Amino acid sequence: MSDWLSRGIFVTGTDTGVGKTIVGGGLAALLRNQGLKVGVMKPVETGCLQEDGSIVPADGKFLKDMAGLELPLDTIVPYQFKEPLAPWVAGKREGVEIAPDYLLEKFKEISQDADFVLVEGAGGILVPLAQDFFFLNLIKQFNLPLLIISRVELGTINHTLLTLRVAQMEGIAVVGVVFNCLSPEKTIASETNPQVISSLTEVPIWGVIPHYPPLKPQFFYREVITQLVQKHLNLSFLQNLVLSQK
């Protein structure tokens, strides 16, 4: 299995709200449909406070459902915070210190019984989890290759190249970029940005997911989201990754 800590992939974004959960959940379901036992993890989820006062990590629950896992949600999402803030900030406001070693322990637990593990971050790779410990440090600790989810609209060239540059400087393998259309309006920028990124880097562009009606990460959208990802992404890149990690 080469030198990977586990067979898997880490899904990050250039920003928050770029569609990491939708893409990650779709990929998990596709791998599950191929007969693989897929482990999923959302190390930290913020904004979990519901209107009824309960704490529900909606993204983590969606990933769990898409992968068909029976693991406890507390294992999949070890840290769950009420406020929609950066994990380090949300934790400090609740008096909780995020422990990287504990996250690694949970990652190994999930990996033990999985053919492939899909981990989703929060925001981008420089979002802090603790003092001087960012998601990029966690990615290196997990020793997983990186898939970047990026918005296709104006501004994405800078955000995408910055994410790529930091990852590469830190020795993190980047296996691809997925573009997500967040606006129904087609612009010259949204039509040209994927080609520009492709011409400026050697990182594969897995595809461009077109704008879709608002889909909250909920289980009853499983088939819709799975088909969306299957139709618009070049999944040979994913298959090659799975094979290369054996």
DSSP letter string over 188-230? HHHHHHHHHHHHH-SS-EEEEEPP-S---S-GGGHHHHHHHHH
For 8: left if phi > 0, alpha if psi spans -120 to 50, otherwise beta; the answer is left
The residue written with tokens 């949300």 in the block is 90
Residue 31 burial (CB count, 10 A): 22
Q: Is 42 a catalytic residue?
A: yes
Which residue of the set 20, 42, 61, 64 is catalytic? 42
Hey, what are 136's tokens? 């990029």
Give the closest residue to 19 by CA, choosing from 237, 216, 241, 162: 216
Hey, what are 233's tokens? 């992404």
Burial of 9 (0-12, 13-18, 19+ CB in 10 A): buried
User: How big is the CA angle at 21 (ends 15 and 22), to the nearest 5 degrees?
Assistant: 110
List active site positions: 42
